[in-house]
Chain A
Amino acid sequence: MSIFKRLFNVGKSEAHSAIDKMEDPIKMTEQGIRDMKNDLTNALEGLAQVKAMLIRSQNDKTQFDNKAKDYQNKAMLILQKTQKESISAEDGDRLAREALVKKEENTEHSKRCGIEIEKFSKSVSQLETNVNSLKNNVGKWENELKTLKARVKVSNATKNLNKQMASIDSSSTVNMLEKMREKVSEEEALADAYGDIANESKSVDDELDRVLNNTSASAESDLDALKKQMGM
């Protein structure tokens, strides 16, 4: 592996590490859920549109069926009138035929609506399945996030409490006292050390004088002489 490639890999890993530190998993999950909710809203709106088309087709079919039935009735009435000779047979047949043509047209429209209804119904049930699954997932993740947030709060509180109990918090009073105690010990040790050094720094002459020091001995003999002189 070339040196540049290794350097590049080091840089890459450092960058990833820095971004990892920046990423708050809770905030990232919240954003993810927000995105999913937007997708869900779009899916719901799509479902509403297809359902509206289904309703329209159902209404149209009912209207076409009614119209077809109406033309059928009209054709029958005209034939009855022809039979009663209220109108001529020729006119009656022509009008009845036209009514039946209209009836047929409406029946065709109704059939077309029937096909649309079947198509839209399938789309609606498929979309409903997808929407429900998405809704369930969002709900599940939202609940999971709530639980995780609560767990994070609990663990943070426990961590802080344990830190205080263990007195390892740098700002705690116990820690400050500990530091002070160390400082005092250091000072005492320093004072002892200075004392030792002071003792060690005495010259050989001083030591000889100390050993041969006869000031107190001469004072003793002077005292004895004085006592003799005074007859004591």
Chain B
Amino acid sequence: MGIFDIFKKKEKERHFDPTNITIRDLGKGYIFEYAIETWTVTALFEYDWGENYFTREFVIKNGATEKFLNIEDDGGLVVTLSEKVKLRKLGEVTCDYMDAHQKPPKKIKYEGVKYYLDEKSPGYCKEIDADNWEELVSYDYLDEEEEKTLCIEQYGEEEFEVTKGIIIDALAISNILPKGDN
């Protein structure tokens, strides 16, 4: 180190260790590998479930395919990879029930898999750079083996968003590359 190095502008502190960037460090613009494919994080959503408990959802793209990577850190790390499903695809029975009750049923059969309601969580959601939080109720379903997930998010009385997914190992996300600040 030269004596004049102390006059140089101080380097910005990074929140990650470059020798070991983990899924917890992911951010917008980051690139990573999953299932021998390269994915880019295009957006980042934050969920506030109250009592200082937050989860994060990353919108990831691989060419034309768009998926969601959900990270829940409640002591242990639960990583869910999901994709959007049209509400009507859940079948007539489910859709009729939701029309009648303004909420989804406790059991849903979709694509031959039986999903059971695991958790109903009211909370708030916003894109990381946005100012306003949006109120929602999340209905999280799991199959019998607790490997497959189905999530119905309710915004207002009649707006529902559905995603189906799988729980993956955090280590399946590898070769994470950070995005520069500039």
Contacts and interface: CB of A to CB of B under 8 A. Distances in A.
A49 interface: yes
A51 interface: yes
A49 B31 CA distance: 9
Given A38-B11, A48-B30, A59 B63 contact: yes
Contacts of A41: 14, 18, 178
Interface string B169-182: 00000000111100
A130 to B, nearest CB: 13
How many A residues are at the interface, by size bracket?
20 to 34
Interface residues of B, number: 18
Contacts of B14: 41
A96 to B, nearest CB: 29
Given A52-B40, A62-B63, A135 B180 contact: no
Interface in B1-27: 1, 11, 14, 17-19, 21
Contacts of A139: 19
Nearest to A128: B175
Contact of A48 (B17, B63, B64, B179): B179
B38 interface: yes
A55 B1 contact: no
A31 B1 contact: yes
A44 interface: yes
Is chain B's interface secondary structure helix, strand, loop, or mixed overall?
loop
A65 interface: no
Nearest to A40: B18
Contacts of B11: 38
Nearest to A138: B19
Contacts of A55: 31, 38, 40, 63
A141 to B, nearest CB: 10
Contacts of A46: 180
Interface string A120-143: 000000000000000100110010
Interface in A61-82: 62
Interface of B: 1, 11, 14, 17-19, 21, 29-31, 38, 40, 63-64, 177-180
Given A37-B19, A41-B178, A51-B38, 6 more contacts: A38-B11, A40-B19, A44-B178, A52-B29, A55-B31, A55-B63
13 contacts: A37-B19, A40-B18, A44-B18, A46-B180, A48-B30, A48-B178, A48-B179, A48-B180, A51-B177, A52-B31, A52-B40, A55-B31, A55-B38
Q: Please name the 9 residue pairs, one residue from A and one from B, whose CB atoms are nearest each other, closest first.
A: A48-B177, A45-B180, A40-B18, A41-B18, A48-B31, A138-B19, A37-B18, A139-B19, A135-B19
Interface of A: 31, 35, 37-38, 40-42, 44-49, 51-52, 55, 58-59, 62, 135, 138-139, 142
